[in-house]
Chains A and B, each alone.
With several copies, the nearest count.
Chain A
Amino acid sequence: MSIDFEYIDRLLIVRINGDIDHHSCEEIRSKIDKEIIAKNPKSILFDMGQVGFMDSSGIGVLIGRYKLIADSGGKAGMINVKPQIMRLCEICGLQKIIKIYAGKKQAVASIKE
């Protein structure tokens, strides 16, 4: 598991590479939180294109990061979500909190507006 960060102005794009389960969660959480504390982004976009597996532990982590960002008035979104993970998000009602966008352009436009 590895994480890449990219910025478009104050929008933090987080690309997670690898499975998101309870085992990898702690590392994912601490890496993203360190980045948020250091760079103070306004909003956050999760690029899930390199995530092949996720279970409800991942839902917990994503919601946790969303809360951090939302507390200071930011928005959160997801892109490149694979069908299997899409279903998990639906079951858990995640898309009501973290919107799933069709692509990066749409996501950036909508989150930054």
Chain B
Amino acid sequence: MKADNEMKLEFLSKSQNESFARSVVAAFAAQLDPTIEELAEIKTAVSEAVTNAIIHGYSREIGIVVIVSRIISNRVEIEVKDFGVGISDIELARQPLYTSKPELERSGMGFTVMETFMDKVEVESKTGEGTTIYMTKTIMTVR
């Protein structure tokens, strides 16, 4: 299905870009006229995925994070991609409270938050090649 609108954002995996990335997606999704709540949910989900790319995907090195977003009628699609270490056991990674970095005080709730705030979350990953998180959310325009 052809997108009504589409954008792609690439940025360095620096933590200062987390707030930048979520505000870019929010600005793009704003054309669907979401409620403040829906917009906050999208921002939070994007923040989780981007943070994961930065701290898990790339750890200490600086890589490139790519976000692709599409608007298709009243649905927003968001892909967050890194070319980092990848996830060896996706099922385990998606478990609530599971984190591979408890020493960083990670809560292990990132995937759970994404799943709760978005309608659909798919994870594609290959060890040594990187990870793509694919999320969609339909905006309920009837207020």
Contact = CB atoms under 8 A, between A and B. Distances in A.
A and B bind: yes
A15 to B, nearest CB: 20
9 contacts: A22-B18, A22-B54, A55-B110, A56-B48, A59-B107, A61-B105, A84-B36, A84-B41, A91-B113
Interface string B26-46: 000000000011001101100
Interface of A: 19, 21-23, 25, 29, 53, 55-57, 59-61, 63-64, 83-84, 88, 91-92
Interface residues of B, number: 25
A56 B37 contact: no
Interface in B3-39: 15-16, 18-19, 22, 36-37
Contacts of B44: 53, 55, 84, 88
A109 B105 CA distance: 30
B104 to A, nearest CB: 8
A63 B112 CA distance: 17
B69 interface: no
Given A23-B15, A83-B37, A91-B116, A55 B51 contact: yes
B43 to A, nearest CB: 7
A56 B105 contact: no
A53 B23 CA distance: 11
B68 to A, nearest CB: 21
Contacts, number: 65
B51 A84 contact: no
A36 to B, nearest CB: 15
Which of B44, B48, B116 has its CB near the most chain A CB atoms (within 10 A)? B44
A21 B51 contact: yes
B113 A92 contact: yes
B72 interface: no
B18 A21 contact: yes
